[in-house]
Each structure stands twice: as structure tokens, then as C-alpha cells.
Amino acid sequence: MDSGPVRTIARLFATVGTSDYLGESVSQASHMLQAAALAEAARVSPALIAAALLHDVGHFTGVITGRGPMRGTDNRHSDAGADWLAQWFAPDVTEPVRLHVAAKRYLCAVEPGYLDTLSPASVRTLRIQGGPMSPREATAFEAEPAAGAALRLRRWDDAANDPAAKVPPFGHFEPVLRRLVRYRGVAGATR
Ligand code: FE
């Protein structure tokens, strides 16, 4: 049996991924597949498509960290997801995931009108996530190497709540993931 990370992730999409996306009208899996489809349509790098696809794996917290599921809160899902993905993926995949919540807080601080475009659920979690960034935090965010990628990911994240959207199946993105998987110090391991 193929027990590599891509199979593991596929199983998560097929199981816990079918639950609600924090009060939105789409499932978590559909939301992430929509984000990946938007990234693909924007013709960005495979790594950034993968980041869009995987940006909320941290919401699968019960599975990947052993902690209980979230209840309308944000228990650092961006860090949890990025750390989990770092077992197999390089920083060009993991760091936009890590910074996608920070990107929301950044845009709330620097872009007039951005907050008004957010879904009610996203506005609700903003407060728990620290609210809009201070000027000092925004400057620090801009200095992050993955800031630009995280901002692009954030736009797809915000747009990926359409219950009527036709999303590609997870399998559509599997080849992209398989090419990106790497193991620290283990060449040619099962992908
Ligand atoms: Fe999301």
C-alpha cells in the first residue's frame, strides 16, 4: 500500500476535509481545492499551487497534531499546518502556508476596504488572530521572504468560498504534490 505523504493528504481531504469550513458554506476540502484551482489559473509556480491546496491543513488539527478540533477559534492553524508539511515540503510550499493568516492581518492594516471584503467567519477569526497588524508588525511582515507569496495565497483563500464553484478533484493536483515531495536525507523514498 502506498503510505506516502500524498496518500496521507488525499485521505485527509476525503475524510475530515468534508466537514464545514468554519462557518462558510463550503467544505474545507472544497475550499482548499478552490484556492488551488485559482492559483493554477493564475499560472503560478507548482510550489505556490501546492501551498494554496494545503494552506488549511492545520485545520485538520485533531488528525495532524493530536489536539481537539477547533470550535470557531483559530488555534494557530497556519503554524501547525506549515510545521506538519515541513516533513515533506520545502519552504516555498510551507512558508506561504505559515504566513497566510499574517497576510490577512497585514491587508487589514494596509489596504483600505479589504476588511469589508472578508466573509463574516473570516472577520470573526480576525480578532482571535490578533486583529489588524500594527505598523511595526506590518514592516516586519514585509521583510519576510515569503510575504509576496503569502499575499497571493491570501487572495485565493478569500475568494475560495463559492458553494457553486466547480472544483477539480484532489487527484488533479496529486502529480504537482508528488514532484514537490522531498525527504530530509532520504533520496528516492516513496512519494
Ligand atoms: Fe482558507
pLDDT at 1: 43
**Average pLDDT for the chain:** 87
pLDDT at 71: 46
pLDDT at 38: 98
pLDDT tens, residue by residue, 11-38: 999 988 887 666 667 889 999 999 999 9
| 183 Cβ contact partners less than 8 Å away, ≥ 6 residues apart | 88, 189
- Output the CA 122–ligand 1 centroid distance in Å: 9
pLDDT tens, residue by residue, 158-176: 999 998 998 999 999 999 9
Average pLDDT over residues 100-129: 93
CA atoms of 14 and 112, how far apart (whole Å): 38
- Output the CA 77–ligand 1 centroid distance in Å: 10
- Output the CA 56–ligand 1 centroid distance in Å: 5
| CA atoms lying within 13 Å on the CB side of residue 168 | 13
pLDDT at 72: 43
- Output the CA 31–ligand 1 centroid distance in Å: 7
- Output the CA 186–ligand 1 centroid distance in Å: 31
% pLDDT > 90, the chain: 65
**For the chain, where are the E strands, in sequence order?**
none
The better pLDDT of the pair 92, 74 is held by 92
- Output the CA 161–ligand 1 centroid distance in Å: 9
